[in-house]
Structure 1
Amino acid sequence: MTASSGIKFFSTPPHACSYLDDRKAITLFADPQAPMNSTLYGQLSLYGFRRSGNYIYRPQCQDCQACIPVRIPVDAFEPNRQQRKTRMRNADVEITSVNANFVQEHYDLYAKYIHIRHADGDMFPPSIAQYVSFLFSDWCNTRLVEFRHDGKLLAVAVCDFLRNGLSAVYTFYDPEEEKRSLGTLAVLWQIGEAIRLGLPYVYLGYWVQESPKMAYKTRFQPLEAFMYQRWQELPPDA
């Protein structure tokens, strides 16, 4: 497959699905040898592509359409009661956006998060090499958003800044601070930052209806989904 940009795309052989245990997945990758930048990645995000490290990909399964790209149109977003409470609960949290560089403190929190929350996932066991290759890239405009209380690092949100919005790459947090709903707080910050910058969307990656871990994404309303080759509003009860 070749896009209008001239970039070629390659599909993988079937492999174990990261989201549904009983499925096999096929992934479509942009040619890793082709020049890539934030502008081109932003254009590809309009068609449901995501970034993992330097690689741009999208699920391309023949018999399954469970992975649906979703995004929040930030100007229409209305926080629900629980999200408003999350904001108030975290009024004492200091939020700072920093350059996307390796910081040992960040990695230590990431490793703790993976060990406690995702020991059954494909990111376990964590390593510095895996952390760097997963979250950082050589060409993307990426920021690390720190959430701190009294100097203690509570969470880090990895966020790509694109011309058409912010892309939420990954958020990890201290599992001992679960009552703060730091994942929700990170998305709320990204919505506010997109509004401040005049950007229309926050891209949340893929939503899988059958995966309980993905349920939080539908709590941000309205939510748009890329289905049947176009973006359309996803019903709140989907």
Structure 2
Amino acid sequence: MRHTLPLAPQFYVTAPQPCPYLEGRMERKLFTALQGESAEQLNDALSKQGFRRSQNVLYRPSCAECSACLSARIDVSRFAATKSQRRVLRRNAHLARRALAPWATEEQFDLFRDYLDSRHATGGMADMDIFEFAAMIEETPIRSRIIEYHDPAAPRGAPYEGLEAVCLTDVLDDGLSLVYSFFDTEKEKSSLGTYVILDHIRLAQEMGLPYVYLGYWVPGSSKMGYKARFSGLEVYYKAEWTPLDDPETFNADTHPLSVAPIAEQVARISLPDTRPTRRED
């Protein structure tokens, strides 16, 4: 019997679980599989509608009584570095950037484990082993890269072999999407997390891409507050991208009618046309 993938993606909802960003709230996600020949087109289209990728899944928050999580991206043409951000660029100017195929290494995993232990010891990824880490990096059906930042002057035997920061990055048709980044937390004064974002803005400019996608910004969450420090930031709010000129104008909306029913949400999703083009004889 011949089996084929469905022509249109199927959407599902996760069971409620404790929210990792706002205490006392429950989260659930709307998700679909990312597979087949049209994976890149689907990823491009849904990324523009607030979805994020995790391995071969695209997801978007769909909480029953909360719409606090807002997908965020930087409009590269509107970005202007602050004095503090220019200092971060100068402080890390010695780092060498390497864009590699998505392949996990032991040095990356060691850095990742120390990063989790330092910053997210109780988070959902805290128990990830090297096999799960490799799956996170390598299981991608689209155009992804591992961006590594090395200190070329690091002596042999230096921690992580001179590796200071890593970012798993997707290349979209309209920008770069930072799927997950981690760095040496011992180098706190270097502000490596900020530097990775700043360098991706520079990389997008070099590639002629208009946006850098940062994941979710959550008003009221200290974990996500740093994203609002980047000028040119936009959030996907009420089905359109809106400049985040004043973060105080957004709040963590918890009204029971603030979220549309799942069927309504799915009906509003715009899917790419993946039908083969007919040839004219």
Partner of 1:171: 181
Contact 1:222 1:236 in 2 (8 A): no
1:48 aligned counterpart, secondary structure: coil
Partner of 1:128: 130
Contact 2:219 2:247 in 1 (8 A): no
* In 1, Cα distance between equivalents of 2:98 and 2:106: 17
Partner of 2:164: 154
Contact 2:77 2:210 in 1 (8 A): yes
* In 1, Cα distance between equivalents of 2:79 and 2:34: 35
Q: Which one has a bigger Cα radius of gyration?
A: 2
1:114 aligned counterpart, secondary structure: helix
Partner of 1:214: 224
* In 2, Cα distance between equivalents of 1:145 and 1:158: 6
Q: Does 1:194 align with 2:196?
A: no
1:168 aligned counterpart, secondary structure: strand
**TM-score with structure 1 length normalisation?**
0.93
Contact 2:35 2:56 in 1 (8 A): no
Any unmatched runs of 5+ in structure 1? none
Q: Does 1:48 align with 2:58?
A: no
Partner of 1:91: 93
Deviations 1:173-193 (A, max 9, x none): 111111100111100111111
* In 1, Cα distance between equivalents of 2:173 and 2:110: 32
Contact 1:54 1:136 in 2 (8 A): no
Report how far residue 94 of structure 1 moved: 1.3
Distance change in 2, residues 1:58/1:109 (3 Å):
same
Question: Size of the alignment, in residue pairs?
Answer: 234
2:103 aligned counterpart, secondary structure: coil
Contact 1:114 1:125 in 2 (8 A): no
* In 1, Cα distance between equivalents of 2:97 and 2:42: 29
Report how far residue 133 of structure 1 moved: 3.1
Q: Which amino acid aligns with 2:189?
A: K
Q: Which amino acid aligns with 1:163?
A: D
Report how far residue 112 of structure 1 moved: 1.0
Deviations 1:152-198 (A, max 9, x none): 11111111111111001111111111110011110011111111111
Report how far residue 36 of structure 1 moved: 5.1
Q: Does 1:182 align with 2:184?
A: no
Q: Which amino acid aligns with 2:202?
A: G
Any unmatched runs of 5+ in structure 2? 1-6, 155-161, 249-281
* In 1, Cα distance between equivalents of 2:35 and 2:96: 40
Distance change in 2, residues 1:115/1:36 (3 Å):
farther
* RMSD of aligned alpha carbons: 1.6
Q: Which amino acid aligns with 1:147?
A: Y
Contact 2:217 2:227 in 1 (8 A): yes
Displaced runs of 4 or more, over 6 A: none
Structure 1 stretch displaced more, 44-53 or 147-156: 147-156
**Selected match of 2:27 from 16, 25, 44:** 25
Q: Which amino acid aligns with 2:92?
A: N
Q: Which amino acid aligns with 2:186?
A: E
Q: Which amino acid aligns with 2:219?
A: Q
* In 2, Cα distance between equivalents of 1:110 and 1:36: 31
1:213 aligned counterpart, secondary structure: coil
**Selected match of 2:118 from 112, 116, 119:** 116
Distance change in 2, residues 1:33/1:170 (3 Å):
closer
* In 2, Cα distance between equivalents of 1:203 and 1:41: 13
Report how far residue 83 of structure 1 moved: 0.4
